[in-house]
Amino acid sequence: MGKIEQAIDRAIKRERIRLQEAETARQMVAPLVGNIAGMDSAIEIYSHALKQNGIAPGSANISGMQAMVRMLLNTTSNSSSDTMSIATDATPDEDSILSGVNAPRKL
């Protein structure tokens, strides 16, 4: 293989990696910002998703931005409204059968 063919093969390989990274980024940020169109760089896609969620990505590389997006996805999924809420008060309602009953105290 000549030098030109090797250069072409390297360029094709880099382009395939870039496209795969961009597709991975699109899939990862879809729950946060929906489908992304018009951006063909993984860094642009991650940066857009982070900015839309109030995070300044700064000059982080692809791996750093992926980590920030993963943390953002984890925090948004943990704060869903499907989680059960717990009682924050210990006093029963007035119409409860327990109203007027004193709870035993621990020593």
The pLDDT of residue 37: 86
Mean of pLDDT values over 87-98: 64
Indicate the pTM of the whole model: 0.66
Instruction: Categorize the per-residue pLDDT at 86 as very low, low, confident or very high, splitting at 50, 70 and 90.
Output: low
- Report yes or no: 73 and 31 within 8 Å, Cβ to Cβ: yes
Per residue in 43-58, pLDDT tens?
999 999 999 999 988 8
In whole angstroms, what is the distance from residue 69 CA to residue 75 CA?
Answer: 10
Where do the structural domains in the chain lie, given as residue ranges?
Answer: 3-73
Please say if the pLDDT value at position 93 is more than 60.
Answer: yes
Q: Is the pLDDT of residue 80 over 60?
A: no
Whether 39 contacts 65, CB under 8 Å: no
Distance of alpha carbon 26 from alpha carbon 31, whole angstroms: 10
